[in-house]
Amino acid sequence: MSEEVRCRTSPSLALVKYWGKKSTRKNLPATPSLAVTLGGVYTETGVRIAERDSIRLNGENVDLDRFLPLFAALRRAAGRTAFFQVETTNNFPSSAGLASSSSGFAALTIACARILELDLAPERLSALARLGSASAARSLFGGFTLLPAGGRAARQLYEPEYWPEFRIVIVLVSLQAKPISSRAAMEGTRKTSPYYRAWLHNAGELLQPALRALQGRDIDVLGDIARLSYSRMHAALLASSPPVLYWLPSTISVIRECQHLRDEGIGAWETLDAGPQVKVLCLQADVDVISQRLQRLDPEMKIIVAPVGPGPVCE
């Protein structure tokens, strides 16, 4: 057995969402995204050199198709034919709309680059990770990150320590795998949703005010923009043919409870990705009341509180 490299990365949660591809071949995002890396939740990936490629996620074999462009690019960069034996685990549910592809492809990219002894700058690693999943380009960094529209690589805007009070309350309303992958749903939106053009146009308009709000650590403004971003993304999805609805009844209960909390003056701004889970943006001072109120909706729902997370760590 060859030596193993292990890397740990955290998922990237978009506050301003990427949805739609400028190039499917190069996996370039059509819209800019502004994101926060989540602390305490992570993917851990171990890679060895082997006789053929294989990937096991949480102990199960995974179809390799989606990984081949990344593997090919890594082999090209190293100038050698090497195959990877990959073991990866998430300490949170996979494929349920919790951005596991962001941390998954980021951890895989760094671990493979290390085992190939490739000494690449973070931007280069970010561009490689993007080949697997555009959001993974952001998971290469901790703190707050930006992936521009059409961008090959993400960059860090602020270190994790920039906003110590910022919290994300993750509400796992269902642990079922999502019915349609984000990749397929994104293409469906681009090809069939009459609202796709409006989405593209508007996504760009939300970026500058979001950047200003982040610069001023203004959660009221940032939270409102995050709500607009996910609502418009899901509106475009719903208008696809066939329509795509990721929400479950409990998703809607959580969205409504966040509205009630805000009406009472408690800052709780929800955001959703390609799945039923809800992530609530708030400040540390409100975490307890928000968690209690959301848990009361359904004692079965798992709630995780995440601070702003770190960048990758390898051993």
Residue 273 or residue 286: which is nearer to ligand PMV going by CB?
A: 273
Q: Which two tokens stand for residue 224?
A: 């409102």
Candidates 9, 10, 33, 103: give the one binding ligand PMV (CB under 6 A). Answer: 33
Asked if residue 98 binds ligand PMV (CB under 6 A), the reply is no
Asked if residue 14 binds ligand PMV (CB under 6 A), the reply is yes
Candidates 99, 106, 154, 211: give the one binding ligand PMV (CB under 6 A). Answer: 99
Q: How far is the CB of 19 from ligand PMV (least distance, A)?
A: 6
Asked if residue 293 binds ligand PMV (CB under 6 A), the reply is no
Choose the binding region for ligand PMV from 12-20, 72-80, 196-204, 285-293 (rule: CB under 6 A): 12-20
Report how many residues bind ligand PMV under the rule CB under 6 A.
14
Site string for ligand PMV, 262-281 (x = CB under 6 A): -----------xx-------
How far is residue 58's CA from residue 89's CA, in Å, rounded to a whole number? 5
Q: Which two tokens stand for residue 189?
A: 């939106």
Q: How far is the CB of 291 from ligand PMV (least distance, A)?
A: 23
Q: Return all residues near 17 (Cβ < 8 A) that are at least 6 apart.
A: 31, 33, 203, 229, 230, 233, 273
Cβ distance 294 to 261 under 8 Å?
Answer: no
Q: Looking only at residues 116 through 135 of this chain, which bind ligand PMV when binding is defined by CB under 6 A? A: 133-135
What's the chain's Rg over C-alpha atoms?
A: 19
Q: How far is the CB of 51 from ligand PMV (least distance, A)?
A: 30
Asked if residue 17 binds ligand PMV (CB under 6 A), the reply is yes
SS3 57: strand
Helices and strands in the chain, H and E counts = 9, 16
Q: Looking only at residues 140 through 199 of this chain, which bind ligand PMV when binding is defined by CB under 6 A? A: 182-183
Sole residue written with tokens 């280069």: 124
Residue 189 or residue 291: which is nearer to ligand PMV going by CB?
A: 189
Asked if residue 251 binds ligand PMV (CB under 6 A), the reply is no
Residue 38 or residue 116: which is nearer to ligand PMV going by CB?
A: 38
How far is residue 160's CA from residue 167's CA, in Å, rounded to a whole number? 11
Neighbours of 302 (CB within 10 A): 13
Choose the binding region for ligand PMV from 10-18, 189-197, 210-218, 284-292 (rule: CB under 6 A): 10-18
**Whole-number Cα distances in Å, 32 to 54, 87, 251:** 33, 31, 25
| C-alpha dihedral sign at 61, 67, 68, 72 | negative
Q: Residues 145, 149, 150, CA angle at the centre, nearest 5°?
A: 115
Q: How far is the CB of 264 from ligand PMV (least distance, A)?
A: 29
Alpha carbon 163 to its chain's center: 19
Asked if residue 101 binds ligand PMV (CB under 6 A), the reply is yes
If you count them, how many residues does the chain have? 315
Cβ distance 186 to 63 under 8 Å?
Answer: no
Q: How far is the CB of 101 from ligand PMV (least distance, A)?
A: 4
Residues of this chain that bind ligand PMV (CB under 6 A):
14, 17-19, 33, 99, 101, 133-135, 182-183, 273-274
